Amino acid sequence: MKYGYDQINYTNFENDLYDARFELAASRIMDTDLETIEETVVAECNKVAVNGKCHLNQLRKILTNHKSLCLTPFQLALLCGFAGTDIATGLLDYKAFAANLSGWITEIFSIDALRRKSQLVQLGHFNPKEINMPKYNE
């Protein structure tokens, strides 16, 4: 079934289908240009920056519109959480953020990391009985 064979060996169909789905998922999730991500994010942030800082909403918009990133809005929001935003002003040092961006994407959103997380969930390591939620006085 792989790579355009004319005939399908149905005894291997299940394995071939799994391999094809895995390869497709790997290519779509990691369909990023991580070698140039730092330069392109810094260049886009330079256009809107004031005194070497940009606002978190501007960074989120830049990452959302970035053509090389194939990440969900939730994944982009998670990355923005690493931005080190000044709470008072909402501004951040985008150069420090961009320097770490490719490492974070590889570490958090690679196929192996996602597979390990799903295995932990599947094995019940995130069982609601084991999670101690804090109680707040209203």
Q: For residue 133, is it within any domain?
A: no
Cβ–Cβ under 8 Å, residues 86 and 92 = yes
Alpha helices in the chain (DSSP H): 13-29, 37-48, 56-65, 73-80, 94-109, 111-122
92 exposed, middle or buried (CB, 10 Å; 0-12, 13-18, 19+)?
buried
Q: For residue 136, is it within any domain?
A: no
Kindly give, in sequence order, each residue whose CB lies less than 8 Å from that of residue 29, ignoring residues fewer than 6 positions away: 70, 109, 110, 111, 114
Boundaries of domain holding 65: 37-117
Q: For residue 47, is it within any domain?
A: yes
Does residue 45 or residue 10 have the better pLDDT?
45
Q: Half-sphere exposure of residue 135, counting CA atoms within 13 Å on the CB side?
A: 0
Q: For residue 44, is it within any domain?
A: yes
User: Which residue type does 72 have?
Assistant: T
In which region does residue 64 sit, left (phi positive, over 0), alpha (psi from -120 to 50) or beta (all else)?
alpha
Counting the structural domains of the chain, the total is 1
pLDDT at 1: 47
Q: List the CATH number of the domain containing 74.
A: 1.10.238.10
pLDDT tens sequence across 14-28: 777 777 776 766 655
pLDDT tens sequence across 64-96: 888 777 788 888 888 888 888 888 888 889 899
Q: Half-sphere exposure of residue 43, counting CA atoms within 13 Å on the CB side?
A: 6
Going by pLDDT thresholds of 50, 70 and 90, the confidence category of residue 30 is low
Q: For residue 1, is it within any domain?
A: no
Q: SS3 for 29? A: helix
Q: For residue 50, is it within any domain?
A: yes
